[in-house]
């Protein structure tokens, strides 16, 4: 499978409503694995929406989106659910299940996606991932008992345990103090080292963007501005 995301003139509106204000339009890109792309830009102007659109969470209202050379959407329906199973998404608010313990949160999507895996093997995998993200001592607690940084690490592990080909991380250091943010950034870099995945990260933090650069794109005034564009260097000065 060719690990590639191709967007052609995609448009999205606020609330995915046909009547909502346009968040971005004419966004075209062709990103191939293995690579890491960072999206920055003003708050509230559609960075997370673009990430969710590229990740198949939301349908673009205009334009076409191909994942691995296949159109993701046919009209309003997802055309190929198997493509979605190649994607891993970590949400900005972590989207953890408050009534499930840490280890159950970690394994929830894994159980859905890989029902054939034996429970003993799944438990070993969970132990391995909890260790990787430094949560082995917290396996049996509930999300509200974790600090903000620990919740972020759990959300990340829950995404990466699926071994996705396409990884989407929505502001993985949002709300963390700079020291915890740096630790999280180093953890992400370590976990992705040697990965063959296509990774897209939204961030507001210039320090983190520099950590994950150089493929830094800016969503500004409804357009995606990528390295090489004529107004790119002025945006670099403004945001970085």
Partner 1 sequence: MIAFKSVFKAFGPKKVLNGLSFEVKKGEIYFLLGRSGTGKSVSLKQLVGLLKPDSGEIFLDNQPLHTLTESQFGPIRKKCGLVFQLPALLDSRTVFENVTFGIRDLPLKEQIARTLKILKEVNLENLIEVVSSRYPPQLSYGEQKRLALARTLVVDPDYVLYDEPTTGLDPVTSRNVHKLIENVSKNLGKTAIVVSHDMRNALETADRIAVLDAGRVVDMGTPDEIRKSTVQLTRDFLADIREDKTR
Residues that bind partner 1 (CB under 8 A): 40-45, 147-149, 171, 174-180, 182, 204-207, 238-240
Rounded to whole angstroms, the Cα distance separating 61 from 21 reads 12
Cα angle vertex 73, ends 72, 78, to 5°? 90
Minimum distance, C-beta of residue 37 to partner 1, in the bound complex (Å): 17
What residue ranges in the chain does DSSP mark as E strands?
A: 4-13, 22-32, 35-40, 62-67, 70-71, 73-74, 77-78, 87-90, 166-170, 198-202, 216-220, 223-225
Structure tokens at 20: 């909502």
Of 86 and 94, the one with the shorter C-beta distance to partner 1 is: 94
Residue 216 β-bridge partners: 38
Beta strand 223-225 pairing with 216-220: antiparallel
Of 117 and 240, the one with the shorter C-beta distance to partner 1 is: 240
Of 44 and 214, the one with the shorter C-beta distance to partner 1 is: 44
Residue 65 β-bridge partners: 7
Measured in degrees and rounded to the nearest 5, phi and psi for residue 89 equal -130, 125
What size, in residues, is the chain?
240
Of 165 and 171, the one with the shorter C-beta distance to partner 1 is: 171
Of 67 and 220, the one with the shorter C-beta distance to partner 1 is: 220
Is it true that the peptide bond before 34 is cis, omega within 30 degrees of 0? Answer: yes
Minimum distance, C-beta of residue 145 to partner 1, in the bound complex (Å): 11
Minimum distance, C-beta of residue 176 to partner 1, in the bound complex (Å): 7
Of 53 and 185, the one with the shorter C-beta distance to partner 1 is: 185
Minimum distance, C-beta of residue 78 to partner 1, in the bound complex (Å): 28
Minimum distance, C-beta of residue 65 to partner 1, in the bound complex (Å): 25
Minimum distance, C-beta of residue 188 to partner 1, in the bound complex (Å): 15
């Amino acid at each position: 499978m060719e690990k590639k995301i191709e967007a052609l003139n995609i448009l999205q509106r606020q609330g995915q409503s046909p009547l909502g204000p346009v968040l971005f339009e004419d966004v075209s890109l062709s990103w191939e694995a293995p690579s890491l792309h960072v999206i920055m830009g003003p708050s509230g102007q559609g960075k997370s929406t673009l990430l969710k659109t590229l990740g198949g969470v939301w349908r673009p209202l205009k334009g076409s989106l191909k994942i691995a050379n296949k159109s993701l959407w046919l009209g309003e329906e997802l055309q190929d659910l198997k493509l979605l199973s190649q994607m891993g998404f970590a949400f900005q608010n972590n989207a953890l299940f408050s009534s499930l313990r840490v280890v159950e949160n970690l394994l929830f999507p894994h159980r859905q996606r890989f029902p054939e895996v034996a429970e003993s093997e799944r438990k070993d995998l969970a132990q391995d991932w909890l260790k990787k993200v430094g949560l082995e001592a917290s396996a049996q607690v509930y999300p509200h008992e974790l600090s903000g940084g620990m919740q972020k690490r759990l959300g990340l592990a829950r995404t990466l345990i699926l071994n996705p080909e396409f990884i989407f991380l929505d502001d993985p250091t949002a709300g963390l103090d700079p020291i915890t943010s740096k630790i999280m950034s180093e953890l992400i870099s370590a976990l992705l080292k040697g990965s063959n995945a296509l990774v897209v990260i939204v961030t507001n933090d210039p320090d983190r963007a520099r950590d994950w650069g150089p493929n830094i794109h800016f969503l500004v005034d409804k357009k995606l501005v990528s390295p090489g564009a004529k107004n790119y260097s002025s945006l670099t000065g403004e945001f970085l």
